[in-house]
Amino acid sequence: QQYLLAVHPLAELLHTILEVVLDVVQADGAAFYLLNGEGDIPQQESAINFAGATAAGADSPLAAAVLQAAGADDGILLDVAGRHYTIVPVHKGERRLGVLVVRAGQGRHFNENDLRTIAAFGRQAAIGINDSRLQENFDDIESSLDDVLAIL
């Protein structure tokens, strides 16, 4: 939580959160899939030890779960080829931002505490993602204003 008291570039923020998630719940892979507009398909923005849902094919169970979770209020548990995944939606209020996908280690399943922890990281990530995007928008506006003022 201390980390989120400051605004960070989006890529740095996502990678840092994934590192912490992997360490805390002893997972072996994780990824953030973000929505970049209304009705978008979530795109992998950051990953650690994770090939991704799109690499598995658009019609794979994992890709379908990522798409479903992006519009859901609750997380999804998924077992694919002996691997256990949890996919949690990342949203701030009504604004859907994407999903956090975490893969358990080989032969391991997430317990209730792990699932609560992963969901909490998803909620914290939503705050950071929102703040990071607001900062990026502010920087763009500031740059545009500087360009206009330079012309005058």
User: Tens digit of pLDDT per residue, the chain (152 long)?
Assistant: 565 556 668 889 999 999 999 999 999 999 999 987 656 788 899 999 997 655 455 668 898 999 999 989 999 999 988 889 999 999 988 888 999 999 998 888 999 999 999 999 999 999 888 887 676 554 444 455 555 556 65
Instruction: For the sheet with 76-80, list strands across it.
Output: 43-48, 27-34, 95-104, 83-92, 76-80
Name residue 14's amino acid.
L
| Residue 4, pLDDT score | 55
| Residue 151, pLDDT score | 67
DSSP 82-106: TEEEEEEEEEETTEEEEEEEEEEPT
| Residue 34, pLDDT score | 92
